[in-house]
Amino acid sequence: MNRANLRIDIGRLMNRLDRLAQVGAIEGGGNARLALTDQDKDGRDLVIGWMKALGLTVTVDAIGNVFARRKGRKDLPPLMTGSHIDTVRTGGRYDGNYGVLAGLEVVEVLNQAGIETERPITVAFFTNEEGARFHPDMMGSLAYVGGMPLEEALAATDRDGKSVGEELHRIGYAGPEPVAKPSLHRFVELHIEQGPVLDREGVTIGAVDTLQGISWTEFTIKGTSNHAGTTPMRLRHDAGYVAAELTTFVRRLANEIGGDQVGTVGSVKLFPDLINVIPNKAVVTVDVRNTDEARLKEAERRVATFAEETAKAEGCTVEAKRLARFEPVIFDARMADLIERTAKGLGFSVRRMTSGAGHDAQMMQRVAPTAMIFVPSVDGISHNVREFTSPKDLEAGANVLLQVMLDLAG
């Protein structure tokens, strides 16, 4: 039987995507499965059920990462694929899930064709990739590659003060396996682009060879709350005003640095948050990203300086807390070449590209040659219930994954 003629079954893959999307379903067709919630547990249970049904050996490590192993002819370091199944609060159904379920689809194709690869194959999903409940994002993969001590990850708390450790125990996913720096042959992650590049250019496959550096900072600005009617403008110490100036600065800065620099203020909280009281506290998050580490550092420095100076001028104080920081990542060029070549061989249009989003793959690059396969996101929309990729593109991406994995697993 000719391995190159094997193809995935898109109906089967869509069916699993649909069924997983029913867990934590929200209005508009999206998903809310924040990490380590009941919804996340239900999603995990469902996917692990499929893994076991495919004959895979499932293990769970102490940070809740899940690994499903298919034996190889030899006991070599495995080829791994995977992604995550947690979502943001108003997430789509493809982000993360697609990569994990396409990995299972590859396994099912191999099972049906009776193919035994030389190396073992592992399909993984990692804990708390989104960082929407616990910081930092990509926590599970970061701990897995030894980039964060387990104790520190377990101690991270959500807004209600609940820790990762407690929540893992509560949902039954504090696994027995130690979180150890793994020995892997290669890692490949299939994911929707979450940006507009492929969709706008009409290209089907992205061979991702770099990934933007990410910097998340939380600024806590403190001023003086006072009556909104009786306090003359010149006597105000308005923390909310400083937060607003910072927000508009982040926009100006990103435009000024240009290139692929982006900057976002996604969360602002004012205290006491009342119409007629000058805010005495504002908590603002700043997300800046660039593929160039020097420029990213420049952006961070300028944001910090602006926050300091603007707070001072208003008679406020400011404290900065780093929530996440990842340098730009350069993936393995030969892996990206293989993806590009494979896509062309299958007749798909393909381009090399950068990822604007963070992914578990960026952590895996620390321990094994890694690259990513992207498929288009319609209008670039993601982290939104309207996130959409056509079944045709999902099929194309999964077939590229299948052939790349066959090549790498031998």
The three-state secondary structure class of 135 is coil
3-state helix, strand, coil in the chain (%, to 5): 40, 25, 40
196 contacts a second copy (rule: CB under 8 A)? yes
| Residue whose entry in the numeric block shows the structure tokens 């102490």 | 62
Query: What is the contact mask toward a second copy in residues 123 to 162, using x (rule: CB under 8 A)?
Result: -------xxx----x-------------------------
247 contacts a second copy (rule: CB under 8 A)? yes
Tell me 234's DSSP state. G
Q: Which one of 145-153, 269-277, 335-343, 394-402 is the stretch in contact with a second copy (CB under 8 A)?
A: 269-277
Cα–Cα dist 338/400, whole Å: 10
376 contacts a second copy (rule: CB under 8 A)? no
Cα–Cα dist 178/175, whole Å: 8
34 or 85: CB nearest a second copy? 34
Cβ atoms of 59 and 67 within 8 Å: the answer is yes
Minimum separation from the CB atom of position 370 to a second copy (A): 18
Q: Residue 181 is encoded by which pair of tokens?
A: 């720096």
320 contacts a second copy (rule: CB under 8 A)? no
Cα–Cα dist 64/131, whole Å: 14
30 or 78: CB nearest a second copy? 30
Q: Which one of 138-146, 173-181, 255-263, 298-306 is the stretch in contact with a second copy (CB under 8 A)?
A: 255-263
Judged by CB under 8 A, the chain residues 271 through 310 that form the site for a second copy are: 272-280, 285, 287, 289
**C-alpha torsion sign, points 102, 121, 51, 211:** negative
**C-alpha torsion sign, points 342, 347, 348, 352:** positive
244 contacts a second copy (rule: CB under 8 A)? yes
227 contacts a second copy (rule: CB under 8 A)? yes
33 or 383: CB nearest a second copy? 383
Bridge-based pairing state of the strands 66-70 and 121-125: antiparallel
317 contacts a second copy (rule: CB under 8 A)? no
Candidate list 50, 383, 389, 394; residue touching a second copy; CB under 8 A = 383
Q: How far is CA 47 from CA 43, 53, 65, 319, 350, in A?
A: 6, 10, 13, 42, 30
- Single-letter residue type at 108: E
Candidate list 31, 87, 97, 194; residue touching a second copy; CB under 8 A = 194
Site residues (vs a second copy, CB under 8 A): 88-90, 130-132, 137, 193-196, 212, 214, 216, 224-233, 235, 238, 240-241, 243-245, 247-248, 251, 254-255, 260-270, 272-280, 285, 287, 289, 323, 355-358, 380-384
